[in-house]
Amino acid sequence: MVGEGVLLVCLSHPQITSVLSVSRKPTGITHPKLEEYIVKDFLALNLNDPKLKGYDACFFCAGISSVGMKEAEYRKITYDTTLHFAHALAPNPGLSFVYVSGGGTDSSEKGRMMWARVKGKTENDLMKLPFKHVFAFRPGFMKAVAGQQHLPGLYKKFSWLFPAILKLLPGISSTLQQVADAMIVAVQNGYGKKVIEIKDIKRLAARAQQP
């Protein structure tokens, strides 16, 4: 859901000239700015893959729920895959990396919640890599971008509640448009924090609307 929403916003952004979508399946989107790279297993990516070169930023939006998963399996998907992808990009001062994490992530890596510890280690180790910027975005409930097709069943069922959620619970909710706008502004201009909470997302997104 997040990846599709961010992709649509990037394709419509006037300052973004080219987008490479790296995913396991085709997006189903046709656009003159878009090139697709279908990779069945991100852990099999070559560290010198020429298709990953020449870009200014990576918005890493892949992820999975930890419900029903053992820690080793969840760690492989959440930590190993993300770090391998980051290394495949050949981290350098000309490239920024944005990781979509989650609210409640445990930066200490010592808490009781397995998923929070794993995401915390993922954030921490990404920030050790020599990218220009590394940001860990921790969005909450998100309203989809107009035109999205790949939405979770629960979202479709309860999407009618979002106007009320955004109004009554602004501290735990935002729009996916705001998340994508915030990512773009952060990699363009930097930001004073590496861990981006919902209040930061809204602050960054507001800058995107300024002339």
Each residue's pLDDT tens digit, 64-103? 889 899 999 999 999 999 999 999 999 999 999 999 999 9
- Number of compact structural domains in the chain: 1
Would 67 be classed as within a structural domain? yes
Domain CATH for 54: 3.40.50.720
Integer Cα distance of 207 and 211 in angstroms: 9
Would 141 be classed as within a structural domain? yes
pTM of the model: 0.92
Residue span of the structural domain in which 152 resides: 42-208
Would 152 be classed as within a structural domain? yes
Would 61 be classed as within a structural domain? yes
Would 132 be classed as within a structural domain? yes
Would 1 be classed as within a structural domain? no
Model pLDDT, residue 156: 64
Would 9 be classed as within a structural domain? no
The DSSP element (H or E) to which 62 belongs, if any, is none
Best CA proximity match to 205, nearest among 178, 187, 186, 174: 178
Integer Cα distance of 123 and 136 in angstroms: 6
Please report the beta strands in the chain, taking only residues with DSSP state E, as ranges in sequence order.
19-23, 34-38, 57-60, 96-100, 134-137, 141-143, 173-175, 195-196
Would 138 be classed as within a structural domain? yes
